[in-house]
Chain A
Amino acid sequence: MFSGDVRDNNIGKEVAYLEYEAHTSLASKMIKEILEEAIAKWNLNLAIAQHRSGRVNVGESAVVVITASKHRKEAYQANRHIIDRIKHEVPIWKCEVFADGTKQWGNNCNCSAITGKPDQHIYETAATEK
């Protein structure tokens, strides 16, 4: 199971909480399709994903993805695929509310502000990409 927990900071600013908004009907439909595709592709026994909307506090889980398979490789690969597609394709938006009262709607993800590359996340160094 993957759980996306809310961090207490982002790009050097203290985060008070997150506020998620979704196009609920379209998001539900897309997540269902993503899960069905993953089950077929990796021959999973189970795939479940749930994303929260509304206020999510620091330390709480914003999204979980559960995948079950006969071997761990398929479960991990499928899980990564599912969360990446949820983050990048499904109409759900994050608004960060900072401790100083300011707020900022999330971009696709904020990593590009640091890495300088739209497709590279801060947790993916050159070493882990190989």
Chain B
Amino acid sequence: MKVTVYAVLKDYFEPSFDIKENFSSVEDLKRRLEEIKPSAAPVLNACRFAVNDEFVNLDFKIKEDDNISILPPASGG
């Protein structure tokens, strides 16, 4: 699956990357990212997740070919 991160998360991860592992849910993916980068955990806890341009909850079941966006709290305007 392809993961794209935005804004401050780019200080912790590549802007866009592929993960070959299988995750049953968005929460599993989040937990794995926290293992990879423990310092990103507080930011990840504040983030919303979107799959294929729709917001999803942590229990959303992700599929292998999904595009996951991880969105920090908005700060436009």
Residues of A that sit less than 8 Å from B by CB: 4, 20-23, 25-26, 29, 51, 62-63, 83, 86-95, 105-109
CB pair A87 B50 closer than 8 Å? no
A28 to chain B, nearest CB (A): 10
Neighbouring B residues of A87 by C-beta, 8 Å: 74-77
> Is there an interface contact between B8 and A105, defined as CB atoms closer than 8 Å?
yes
Q: Residues 19-41 of chain B: 1 if any A CB is under 8 Å from the residue's CB, otherwise 0?
A: 00000000000000000000000
From residue A126, how far is it (CB to closest CB) to chain B in Å? 23
Chain B residues with CB under 8 Å of A108's CB are 73-75
Query: Per-residue CB proximity of B57-77 to A under 8 Å, as 1/0?
Result: 000000000000101111111
Contacts of B71 in A (CB 8 A): 23, 26, 91
Residues of A within 8 A of B7 (CB): 21, 93, 95, 105
A25 to B15, CA, bound (A): 17
- Closest Cβ of chain A to B39, distance in Å, is 15
Residues of chain B within 8 A of A86, CB atoms compared: 76-77
Q: Other CB < 8 Å A-B pairs besides A21-B7, A23-B50, 19 of them? A: A4-B77, A20-B76, A23-B6, A25-B53, A26-B71, A62-B77, A83-B77, A87-B74, A87-B76, A90-B74, A91-B69, A92-B77, A93-B6, A93-B7, A93-B74, A94-B76, A95-B7, A105-B8, A105-B11
What CA separation (Å) do A49 and B11 show in the bound complex? 30
A106 to B69, CA, bound (A): 19
Contacts of A93 in B (CB 8 A): 6-8, 72, 74-76
In the complex, which residue of chain A has the Cβ closest to the Cβ of B69? Answer: A23
